[in-house]
């Protein structure tokens, strides 16, 4: 008997001592910043509020509720520990006007405020392998009524017994004999905890004796507060899908959508009542039973003096107040979460994510993600109706131009389907998407090239490494003769691009792609000039982010910060700027890409957008119409869309008939800012005559302002400009460049 | 602002491109070789500009964040200041003042590469004249010096002094 007891003692203390709860990690979207002038439509604000777990209410009476009235929204924000510190709950009113925040006032005092953040939407949990969901609570932070009430209901003698309560057992036995079945258990909280640890529910006598011995030894080794804290976090309180809800901390969130220390009396009573049978008394499924049980608990509170009779009556008069359905704790946006996990894997192993209770702050914008998903799913369905294959697949990456933060990511036409994530993993030939880099390399040689430099769009024959001859044709089958760099790019002429590419060099092109942030393995073959290089949509977005952001690359990222549950340890993923060489040439290319949309291969795009803003972009189509690409940007957003078939078979798609439509569908619904056309030091806008390639003046016919890298500008003047500039032609250079031209 | 200790020992992780190279290093509260921004950047810039300032349009939300960042900075909480400035940059990504502040915070933490890059960005989008221009170039100068580019540093300081005589260029 003694060795056995020693063995059990060892077992239970090891279990208790080594007990470290596995806590799921929570993944959050970005926190929405609201300030006067912030661009957001009422519809988007509603989506954001709902994603963040807010509920529409007729009256805003508690945190987590909102109410639209006309163009104003009342919001009661919950307390939340943001990645840069905790913030209290706060009430405010947002007034919207013309798709933007017109004013922001705290409530009820009406004081105007400059800036407020919504707490971010929880978009996923990364659960422990044993599928337990839990939010840890320190016993010192638990509401006093929970601590005392739990003892009153489950174990009145907790403070005094040594692990087992003989009187309670006797009482239970008597009751069970009377009823001729087990109606009452005499288990102490300590015994219940032991039972939970060893996860068997069988009621054999031996098990009961073992349990009693273990309970006695737990009590011998640890104080009451430690045991109670373990109990409060261990007890089973419900089941959410595949995940078991353990502990009162998570229980409060699961049933009431609030932290435990914000619960009211009647809510605490309900949770305590659930200990007896979380499924039998499930308040969502069996509200009647749950109410009876809760009221019984409340009357026992009154009987034991924890509440006055008056307080108990008032609490009984309250409805259950559980939320209609629990907030989703599973994964909402599997493609994006995939990227999050991929980027987290650089620092954390899978086990940390499943057990450390990390709080993971990401860059996702729920309203934009929803639109991106709708654009891909709806767009592909629409293409199916237009005669393209019904099983087309698609991928989309949407990022903030300046910060590189990924706002939305779609990796499958069915956004809820986890699995192959095309946005991250589909390596496909990029077609003409690559061409702008050929032109960039040319513009980086201002002595030889400007946007007005003529090149030949004529047949070209090249010997391939395998001995065959490659003679690329243009999309329309026609050679266009002498064209400017600008027109060749805007109209995506293949023959002109190949000729230009051979001049600037294949190895420099491959190196430049690497410099722009893509580590893909690309062979420097002539066919690369027309996009025989395989990149993922995410990589394409990275390349174009640099161009869209005036040559300041920012590594695209899905993570902002990761925090331990106590809020102390923090790993930040800060915004890092990586300036590209030749930002002057990038500035000129940026302008040229707006011409692709204005008068080139993407000229169908403006009609797809509801707003009249300057947009830049490039279409891409691959051999036999296997892949359709569109990458485009505005001052605030850059996005790539890919469409094609998973088995690489011809799909009948072109850049403008498929991907561009989806891109346009998305951007039509986003608040857009026009492309930043400013050029950095070393480049200038000049009035020129594109026909003759000469310098012109504003008032001359056909004159147009084009950007030039210093040194690449035309030297000759049109007759019209010559006449008007004659007198001070010398000083023109001084005017433009601040010094004489050498 | 709360919590002075919270971020002092925090780790900083940076994600670099798709090579998926990721380094993580501790940022101590005040590195031994950090630069005093007031002495090396702000005060001389004030002299360079002879009181002439070009103020960008102030957004109250950004203004509030800048004030908070100032406080964090003077308490030596550079990581916190950087987080506040990042928030400001999400609202106004091309605000030259916010970009320059970020450069100065990076200077204080001894991250000269990022100090240099943010200062260059601020100059690119900024007025390229006046006090902020001088702060841009002084930050570039101090960063280059610390990155071992003495010649570049001298050139930058030259540019800083001419922020009042050179007229704005570009569009």
pLDDT at B30: 46
- For the cut 80, the answer to whether the pLDDT of residue A21 exceeds it is no
Comparing alpha-carbon positions, the chain A residue that sits nearest to B25 is A571
Interface contacts A/B by beta carbons within 8 Å: 144
- For the cut 80, the answer to whether the pLDDT of residue A199 exceeds it is no
- So what CATH class is A436-517? alpha beta
Alpha helices, DSSP H, located in A18-165: 42-51, 144-154
Which value, to the nearest 10 degrees, does the dihedral of the CA atoms of residues A505, A511, A515, A519 take? 140
Q: Which CATH superfamily is domain A2-19+128-316 in?
A: Biosynthetic peptidoglycan transglycosylase-like (1.10.3810.10)
pLDDT band at A157 (very low <50, low <70, confident <90, very high): confident
The mean pLDDT of A629-651, rounded to a whole number, is 96
Which has more pLDDT, A222 or A292? Answer: A292
Comparing alpha-carbon positions, the chain A residue that sits nearest to B19 is A519
Judged by average pLDDT, the poorest of A76-80, A314-318, A448-452, B22-26 is B22-26
What distance in Å separates the CA atoms of residue A264 and residue A678, rounded to the nearest whole number?
58
pLDDT band at B4 (very low <50, low <70, confident <90, very high): very low
pLDDT at A741: 41
pLDDT at A566: 77
The mean pLDDT of A302-316, rounded to a whole number, is 94
What distance in Å separates the CA atoms of residue B95 and residue B111, rounded to the nearest whole number?
21
Closest CB to B15 among A35, A555, A579:
A555
For residues A306 and A156, is the Cβ–Cβ distance under 8 A?
no
- For the cut 60, the answer to whether the pLDDT of residue A737 exceeds it is no
Examine the residue annotation and report whether A712 is marked as an active-site residue of this protein. Answer: no
Structure tokens at B32: 């031994």
For residues B93 and A634, is the Cβ–Cβ distance under 8 A?
no
Pairing of strands A25-28, A359-362: parallel
Comparing alpha-carbon positions, the chain B residue that sits nearest to A551 is B121
pLDDT at A173: 74
3-state secondary structure of A332: coil
pLDDT at B167: 52
Closest CB to B18 among A83, A519, A676:
A519
For A543-593, the pLDDT digits (tens) are 999 999 999 999 999 999 999 887 777 799 999 999 999 999 999 999 999
Structure tokens at A730: 């010398």
The mean pLDDT of A245-262, rounded to a whole number, is 89
CA distance B114 to chain A (A): 7
- For the cut 70, the answer to whether the pLDDT of residue B53 exceeds it is no
Question: Measured in whole angstroms, how far is the alpha carbon of residue A331 from the centre of its chain?
Answer: 11
Closest CB to A114 among B64, B118, B121:
B64
CATH code linked to domain A31-119: 3.30.2060.10
In this predicted complex, what is the ipTM?
Answer: 0.84
A539 vs B22: CB contact, 8 Å cut-off?
A: no
A683 vs B82: CB contact, 8 Å cut-off?
A: no
Comparing alpha-carbon positions, the chain B residue that sits nearest to A739 is B166
DSSP A726: G
Pairing of strands A704-709, A683-689: antiparallel
The mean pLDDT of A699-715, rounded to a whole number, is 95
Comparing alpha-carbon positions, the chain B residue that sits nearest to A115 is B61
Exposed / middle / buried, residue A17 (Cβ in 10 Å: 0-12, 13-18, 19+): exposed
pLDDT band at A41 (very low <50, low <70, confident <90, very high): very high
The helix (run of H) or strand (run of E) holding residue A243 is strand A243-246
Residues of chain A positioned with their CB less than 8 A from the CB of B94: 402, 676
What mean pLDDT, rounded, does chain A reach? 90
Q: Which residue, among A403, A570, A737, would best test binding to B if mutated, counting the most B CBs under 10 Å from its CB? A: A570
Place of tokens 């509260």: B29
Closest CB to B89 among A36, A115, A403:
A403
Closest CB to A115 among B18, B61, B89:
B61
| CATH code 3.30.300.30 for B34-164 | no
pLDDT at B6: 34
Residues of chain B positioned with their CB less than 8 A from the CB of A594: none
For residues A374 and A408, is the Cβ–Cβ distance under 8 A?
no
A84 vs B63: CB contact, 8 Å cut-off?
A: no
pLDDT at A501: 97
For residues A713 and A687, is the Cβ–Cβ distance under 8 A?
no
For B107-145, the pLDDT digits (tens) are 999 999 999 999 999 999 999 999 999 999 999 999 999
Closest CB to B117 among A571, A572, A577:
A577
Residues of chain B positioned with their CB less than 8 A from the CB of A577: 114, 117-118, 121
Q: What are phi and psi of A666, to 5 degrees?
A: -70, -50
Residues of chain A positioned with their CB less than 8 A from the CB of B61: 33, 35-38, 114-115
- For the cut 60, the answer to whether the pLDDT of residue A188 exceeds it is yes
Q: Tell me the longest C-alpha to C-alpha distance in chain B.
A: 47
For A503-544, the pLDDT digits (tens) are 999 999 999 999 999 988 899 999 999 999 999 999 999 999
Q: How many CB atoms lie within 10 A of CB A623?
A: 13
Segments making up each domain of chain A, as ranges: 2-19+128-316, 31-119, 333-430+533-671, 436-517, 683-737
pLDDT band at A484 (very low <50, low <70, confident <90, very high): very high
A557 vs B80: CB contact, 8 Å cut-off?
A: no
Closest CB to A570 among B2, B10, B91:
B10
- For the cut 50, the answer to whether the pLDDT of residue A493 exceeds it is yes
For residues A584 and A678, is the Cβ–Cβ distance under 8 A?
no
pLDDT band at A183 (very low <50, low <70, confident <90, very high): low
Examine the residue annotation and report whether A432 is marked as an active-site residue of this protein. Answer: yes
pLDDT band at A1 (very low <50, low <70, confident <90, very high): low
Q: What are phi and psi of B11, to 5 degrees?
A: -90, 150
The mean pLDDT of A2-8, rounded to a whole number, is 81
pLDDT band at B88 (very low <50, low <70, confident <90, very high): very high
The mean pLDDT of A409-420, rounded to a whole number, is 91
Residues of chain B positioned with their CB less than 8 A from the CB of A569: 10-11
Given the residues A48, A119, A132, A154, select the one marked as catalytic.
A154
The architecture in CATH of the region A333-430+533-671 reads 3-Layer(aba) Sandwich (3.40)
% of chain B beyond a pLDDT of 70: 70
B90 vs A738: CB contact, 8 Å cut-off?
A: no
Please determine whether the domains at A333-430+533-671 and A436-517 fall in the same fold group of CATH.
yes
What are the start-end ranges of the E strands in A385-477?
393-400, 406-410, 428-429, 454-457, 462-463, 469-470
CA distance B50 to chain A (A): 22
- For the cut 60, the answer to whether the pLDDT of residue A476 exceeds it is yes
What distance in Å separates the CA atoms of residue A151 and residue B51, rounded to the nearest whole number?
71
- For the cut 50, the answer to whether the pLDDT of residue A742 exceeds it is no
CA distance B59 to chain A (A): 9
pLDDT at A554: 97
Number of helices (H) and strands (E), helices first, in chain A? 25, 33
**pTM of whole model > 0.90?**
no
B12 vs A572: CB contact, 8 Å cut-off?
A: yes
Given the residues A25, A377, A432, A492, select the one marked as catalytic.
A432
- For the cut 60, the answer to whether the pLDDT of residue B55 exceeds it is no
Residues of chain A positioned with their CB less than 8 A from the CB of B93: 400-403, 636
B86 vs A574: CB contact, 8 Å cut-off?
A: yes
pLDDT at A132: 83
pLDDT at B21: 28
Beta partners for A707? A685
Question: Measured in whole angstroms, how far is the alpha carbon of residue A268 from the centre of its chain?
Answer: 34
Residues of chain A positioned with their CB less than 8 A from the CB of B167: 738
A555 vs B120: CB contact, 8 Å cut-off?
A: no
Residues of chain A positioned with their CB less than 8 A from the CB of B14: 555, 573-574, 576
What distance in Å separates the CA atoms of residue B35 and residue B110, rounded to the nearest whole number?
7
Comparing alpha-carbon positions, the chain B residue that sits nearest to A36 is B61
């Amino acid at each position: 008997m003694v060795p056995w007891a020693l063995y059990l003692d060892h077992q239970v203390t090891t279990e208790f001592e080594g007990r470290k709860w596995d806590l799921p990690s929570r993944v959050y979207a970005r926190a929405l910043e609201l300030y006067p002038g912030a661009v957001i439509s009422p519809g988007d604000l509603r989506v954001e509020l709902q994603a963040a777990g807010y509920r529409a209410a007729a009256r805003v009476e508690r945190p987590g509720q909102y109410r639209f009235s006309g163009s104003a929204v009342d919001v009661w924000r919950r307390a939340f520990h943001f990645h840069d510190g905790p913030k209290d709950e706060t009430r405010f009113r947002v007034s919207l006007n013309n798709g933007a925040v017109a004013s922001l006032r705290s409530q009820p005092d009406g004081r105007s405020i400059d800036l407020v953040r919504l707490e971010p939407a929880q978009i996923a949990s990364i659960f422990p392998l044993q599928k337990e969901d839990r939010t840890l609570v320190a016993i010192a932070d638990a509401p006093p009524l929970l601590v005392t009430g739990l003892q009153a209901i489950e174990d009145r003698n907790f403070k005094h017994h040594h692990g087992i309560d003989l009187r309670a057992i006797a009482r239970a036995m008597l009751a069970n004999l009377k009823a001729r079945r087990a109606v009452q258990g005499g288990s102490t909280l300590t015994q219940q905890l032991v039972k939970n640890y060893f996860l068997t529910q069988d009621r054999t006598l031996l098990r009961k004796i073992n349990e009693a011995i273990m309970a006695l030894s737990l009590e011998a080794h640890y104080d009451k507060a430690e045991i109670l804290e373990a109990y409060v976090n261990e007890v089973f309180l419900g089941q959410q899908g595949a995940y078991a809800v353990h502990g009162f901390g998570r229980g409060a969130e699961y049933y009431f959508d609030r932290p435990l220390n914000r619960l009211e009396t009647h809510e605490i009573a309900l949770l305590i009542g659930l200990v007896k049978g979380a499924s039998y008394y499930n308040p969502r499924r069996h509200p009647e039973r749950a109410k009876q049980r809760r009221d019984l608990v409340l009357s026992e509170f009154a009987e034991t003096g924890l509440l006055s009779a008056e307080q108990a009556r008032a609490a009984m008069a309250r409805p259950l107040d559980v939320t209609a359905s629990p907030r989703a704790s599973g994964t909402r946006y599997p493609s994006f979460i995939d990227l999050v996990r991929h980027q987290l894997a650089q620092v954390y192993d899978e086990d940390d994510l499943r057990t450390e209770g990390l709080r993971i702050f990401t860059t996702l914008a729920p309203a934009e993600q929803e639109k991106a998903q709708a654009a891909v799913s709806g767009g592909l369905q629409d293409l199916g109706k237009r005669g393209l294959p019904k099983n087309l697949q698609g991928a989309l990456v949407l990022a903030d131009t300046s910060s590189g933060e990924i706002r939305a990511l779609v990796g499958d036409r069915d956004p809820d389907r986890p699995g192959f994530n095309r946005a991250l993993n589909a390596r496909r030939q990029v077609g003409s998407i690559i061409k702008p880099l050929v032109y960039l390399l040319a513009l980086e040689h201002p002595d030889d090239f400007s946007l007005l430099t003529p090149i030949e769009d004529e047949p070209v024959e090249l010997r391939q490494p395998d001995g065959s001859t490659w003679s690329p044709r243009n999309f329309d089958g026609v050679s266009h003769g002498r064209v400017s760099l600008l027109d060749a790019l805007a109209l995506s002429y293949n023959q002109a691009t190949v000729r230009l590419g051979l001049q600037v060099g294949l190895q420099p092109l491959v190196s430049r792609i690497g410099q722009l942030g893509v580590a893909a393995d690309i062979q420097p073959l002539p066919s690369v000039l027309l996009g025989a290089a395989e990149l993922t949509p995410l990589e394409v977005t990275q390349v174009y982010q640099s161009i869209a952001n005036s040559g300041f690359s920012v590594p695209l990222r899905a993570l902002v910060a990761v925090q331990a549950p106590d809020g102390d340890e923090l790993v930040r993923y800060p915004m890092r700027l990586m300036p590209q060489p030749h930002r002057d040439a990038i500035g000129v290319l940026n302008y040229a890409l707006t011409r692709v949309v204005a008068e080139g291969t993407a000229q169908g795009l403006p009609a797809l957008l509801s707003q009249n803003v300057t947009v830049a972009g490039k279409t891409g189509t691959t051999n036999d119409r296997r892949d359709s690409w569109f990458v485009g940007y505005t001052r605030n957003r850059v996005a790539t869309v890919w469409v094609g078939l998973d088995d690489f078979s011809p799909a009948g798609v072109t850049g403008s008939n498929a991907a561009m439509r989806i891109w346009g569908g998305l951007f039509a619904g986003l608040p857009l800012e026009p492309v930043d056309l400013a050029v950095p030091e070393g480049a200038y806008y000049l009035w020129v005559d594109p026909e003759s390639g000469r310098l012109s003046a504003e008032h001359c016919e056909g004159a147009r302002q084009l950007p030039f890298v210093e040194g690449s500008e035309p030297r000759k003047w049109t007759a019209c400009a010559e006449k008007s500039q004659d007198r001070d032609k010398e000083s023109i250079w001084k005017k433009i460049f601040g010094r004489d031209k050498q | 602002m709360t919590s002075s200790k919270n971020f002092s020992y925090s780790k900083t992780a940076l994600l670099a491109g798709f090579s998926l190279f990721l380094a993580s290093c501790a940022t101590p509260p005040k590195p031994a070789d950090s630069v005093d921004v007031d002495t090396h950047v702000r005060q001389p810039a004030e002299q360079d500009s002879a009181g002439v300032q070009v103020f960008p349009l102030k957004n109250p939300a950004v203004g509030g964040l800048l004030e908070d960042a100032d406080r964090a900075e003077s308490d030596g909480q550079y990581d916190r200041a950087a987080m506040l400035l990042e928030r400001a940059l999400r609202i106004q990504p091309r605000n030259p003042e916010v970009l320059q502040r970020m450069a100065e915070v990076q200077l204080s933490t001894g991250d000269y590469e990022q100090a240099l890059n943010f200062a260059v960005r601020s100059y690119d989008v900024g007025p390229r004249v006046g006090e902020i221009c001088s702060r841009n170039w002084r930050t570039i100068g101090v960063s280059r010096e610390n990155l071992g580019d003495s010649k570049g540093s001298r050139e930058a300081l030259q540019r800083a002094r001419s922020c009042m005589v050179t007229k704005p260029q570009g569009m």
